Amino acid sequence: MSIFGKIKDAIFGHKSAPAQAQPVPTPQPAGAATAQTETPVQPQTQQVDVDQVLTNIANEKGNPDLNYRSSIVDLMKLLGMDSSLENRKELATELGYKGATDGSAEMNIWLHKEVMRQLAAHGGKVPANLTD
């Protein structure tokens, strides 16, 4: 799984995020084929409030002082992920970063903002100040 995928799953799959809709079996008329078909449920329109989920995770872990709102390293730490330069380089490659992947402040700031933009693009509610 991609590093961004792990970030997204950690946030969207957190217990404080809205439950995702699951397909339900469609009843078959008597005498119909034995295989059941599933009719997907319309996905819920409620977005995952990314900032609120992150706040909840920080409070649960007892480390609300991590600067996860602006630091990619602290965000990854909060989510229990390896925040090493190697993983941040891999994340930068995944997300299309074009600059030097040397762990510079420029790269880390771009990574944090791009992760937030991608979370918003995948159904997250992200405050504008986290994506600008």
Would the pTM count as exceeding 0.85? no
Confidence category of residue 39, pLDDT binned at 50, 70, 90: very low
Could you tell me the residue range of the domain that residue 54 belongs to? 3-20+46-130
In a domain, 34, yes or no: no
CA 90 to chain centre: 16
Q: Please enumerate, as own/partner, the contacts of 24-32 that have beta carbons within 8 Å and a separation of 24 or more.
A: none
Q: Which two tokens stand for residue 63?
A: 């480390």
Structural domains of the chain, count = 1
Residue 22: per-residue pLDDT = 38
Span 78-114, pLDDT tens digits: 999 999 999 999 999 999 999 999 999 999 999 999 9
**What six digits make up the tokens of 8?**
């997204």
Any domain includes 84: yes
